[in-house]
């Protein structure tokens, strides 16, 4: 049985920001979220570069005639393509210097997904009514957490919780890693920018998923985030693994629209 994503996405300004620096993409074989950073619209440009680069390579990544190892290499190398494009645009437009973006993307082939992740936008799997974080935050706070110098509770409301150790900023010296996970029909995946996870805890998100239908979930997550101040843009992708159909649809959200 061939599998694909049945995905929905939503992007919201939040209650404080004037512009939306997040971007997202959904398609039957690829879902992604990118959270831009940098003044003078730089974050908006950087996240759009990441999503638009993914879109261009989508036909190659999802080509079943290409062997799995080659597809994985192409997917992994997208991060370098994005980094190079950000560097080039920054050189052409010095006012955008210093812009960057996170990138969290899942591609589905055969009976597994590959996760490409840089930064602190997150990827969760929802299975058996449990939320499991698959991505690893590339942040100073996560390093301090790993070292036992901070507790999860201290990290959650720390003023420097979003200080990144890896991001796509042009010539970034990134070290991307591809993680593979077996999947089955009925698995669901949540990809989101930190505008969600810096406000709602994993416990709160879990309770909302349990209590809300899929078609109302994104609205409810965003509404609950806004109820607690929503200081940043909020972008969410919710995707269920289903039996493949012939319908092919790609949609972009946020800055990449």
- Which pLDDT belongs to residue 40? 64
Whether 87 shows a pLDDT value over 90: the answer reads yes
- Which pLDDT belongs to residue 169? 95
- Which pLDDT belongs to residue 58? 87
pLDDT band at 246 (very low <50, low <70, confident <90, very high): low
Q: For the chain, what is the domain count?
A: 1
Tell me how far CA of residue 42 lies from CA of 47, 89, 212, 255, in angstroms. Answer: 9, 10, 35, 11
Range 34-52 burial, b when 16+ CB lie within 10 A, else e: bbbbbeebbbbbbbbbbbb
122-127 and 103-109 strand pairing = unpaired
Q: Which domain covers residue 159, as residue numbers?
A: 3-254
- Which pLDDT belongs to residue 62? 77
* Average pLDDT in the chain: 92
Of 139 and 51, more confident: 51
Q: Which helix (H) or strand (E) holds 84?
A: helix 68-92
- Which pLDDT belongs to residue 247? 64
- Which pLDDT belongs to residue 175? 85
DSSP annotation of 164 reads B
Which residues, including other chains, have CB under 8 Å from residue 10's CB and lie 6 or more apart? 218, 219, 222, 235, 236, 253
* pLDDT tens digits along 165-189: 999 999 878 888 899 999 999 999 9
Taking residues 119-125, what's their average pLDDT? 97
Of 138 and 254, more confident: 138
* pLDDT tens digits along 198-222: 999 999 999 999 999 999 999 999 9
Q: Which CATH number characterizes residue 102's domain?
A: 3.60.40.10
The tokens describing 91, both together, are 């050189």
What proportion of the chain, given as a percentage, has pLDDT over 90?
72
Whether 109 shows a pLDDT value over 90: the answer reads no
Of 68 and 224, more confident: 224
Which residues, including other chains, have CB under 8 Å from residue 155's CB and lie 6 or more apart? 141, 142, 144, 145, 161
- Which pLDDT belongs to residue 150? 80
* pLDDT tens digits along 21-52: 999 999 999 999 999 998 667 999 999 999 99
Separation between Cα atoms, residue 113 and residue 29, nearest integer Å: 9
Tell me how far CA of residue 113 lies from CA of 144, 187, 189, in angstroms. Answer: 29, 11, 10
- Which pLDDT belongs to residue 23? 97
pLDDT band at 163 (very low <50, low <70, confident <90, very high): confident
Neighbours of 164 (CB within 10 A): 20
Range 193-229 burial, b when 16+ CB lie within 10 A, else e: bbbbbbbbeeeebbebbeeeeeeebbeebbebbeeee
Of 243 and 153, more confident: 243
- Which pLDDT belongs to residue 249? 76
SS3 123: strand
* pLDDT tens digits along 61-74: 778 888 988 989 99
User: Is this structure's pTM higher than 0.85?
Assistant: yes
């Amino acid at each position: 049985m061939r599998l694909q994503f049945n995905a929905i996405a939503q992007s919201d300004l939040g209650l404080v920001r004037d512009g939306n620096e997040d971007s997202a993409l959904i398609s039957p074989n690829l879902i992604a979220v990118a959270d831009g950073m940098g003044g003078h619209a730089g974050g908006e440009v950087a996240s759009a570069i990441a999503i638009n680069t993914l879109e261009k390579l989508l036909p190659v990544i999802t080509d079943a005639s290409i062997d799995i190892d080659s597809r994985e290499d192409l997917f992994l190398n997208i991060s370098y393509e994005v980094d190079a494009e950000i560097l080039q645009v920054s050189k052409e437009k010095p006012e955008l210097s210093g812009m960057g973006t996170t990138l969290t993307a899942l591609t589905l082939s055969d009976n597994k997904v590959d996760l490409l992740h840089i930064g602190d936008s997150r990827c969760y799997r929802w299975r058996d009514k449990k939320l499991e974080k698959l991505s690893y935050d590339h942040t100073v706070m996560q390093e301090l957490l790993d070292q036992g110098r901070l507790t999860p509770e201290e990290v959650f409301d720390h003023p420097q919780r979003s200080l990144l150790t890896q991001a796509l900023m042009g010539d970034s010296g990134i070290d991307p890693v591809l993680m593979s996970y077996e999947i089955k029909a009925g698995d669901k995946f949540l990809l989101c920018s930190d505008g969600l996870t810096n406000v709602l805890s994993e416990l709160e998100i879990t309770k909302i998923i349990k209590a809300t239908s899929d078609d109302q979930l994104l609205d409810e997550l965003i509404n609950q985030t806004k109820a607690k101040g929503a200081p940043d843009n909020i972008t969410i992708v919710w995707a269920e693994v289903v039996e493949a159909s012939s319908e092919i649809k790609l949609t972009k959200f946020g800055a990449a629209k």
